[in-house]
Amino acid sequence: MNALQQAEIEELEGEELIEERFQITDQESLNWTFRKIAAYKRQMEETDTIAAKEIERVHLWAAEQHKPVKQSIDFFEGLIMQYHMKLLEEDPKAKTLKTPHGKSKSTTRKASPAPLDKDKLLDHVKEAGMLDYIKEEIRWGDFKKTLNIAKADGQTFVVDALGQRVEGVIIDEGGTTFKVEV
């Protein structure tokens, strides 16, 4: 805000703006009113600018405060996960651990085929004559149900319902995930 705008605001400090006390009666009083409005708007902009800078500073401060706290949370969640894994090894049915202050949930996915190269997969399905699984592209959900994981000569691979090796598919090894709720 410049000095003229500050003077415009100071001129009215301590006075109540009553409609009967002041009315716009000509171009000069209209211009005077516009100057007052411009000064007040500039004052609001300055306040908003200062507030935005302070808000940013507070957000940066909060982020710095969160770093060690987040590290502690990650540490304790890691301990929970290790403990839960140990219990799962001893008792595979211990999928959820509950206390009055939180839960640890485990989810285990089985190994399953996953598409790697859709072109090779499409070629395989066409060559095998399994056209029921083809639209514009392979109906993966339906086709996947017919696939199996096989091992031979120390290698693991995917075979279709006819026992043929399927190219363009990888094996998703599955695994166990943990979710901590507090």
> Token pair 């800078």 is at which residue?
53
Q: Is residue 87 part of a domain?
A: no
Which residues, at least 6 apart from 148, have a Cβ–Cβ distance to it below 8 Å? 158, 159
Same domain for 118 and 64 = no
Q: Is residue 95 part of a domain?
A: no
The answer to whether the predicted template modeling score (pTM) of the entire model surpasses 0.75 is no
* Phi, psi (deg, nearest 5) at residue 30: -65, -45
Determine the straight-line distance between the first and last CA of the chain, rounded to whole angstroms. Answer: 50
The boundaries of the domain holding residue 120 are 107-181
Same domain for 173 and 115 = yes
Answer for the pair 137, 122: CB distance below 8 angstroms, yes or no. yes
Same domain for 125 and 68 = no
Same domain for 59 and 7 = yes
Same domain for 120 and 59 = no
Q: Is residue 156 part of a domain?
A: yes
Same domain for 59 and 13 = yes
Pairwise CA distance, residues 152 & 2, whole Å: 83
Q: What are the tens digits of pLDDT across the range 112-171?
A: 999 999 899 999 999 999 988 987 778 899 999 999 999 888 889 999 999 999 999 999
Task: Give the residue from 97, 114, 117 showing the smallest Cα distance to 105.
Answer: 97
Q: Is residue 29 part of a domain?
A: yes
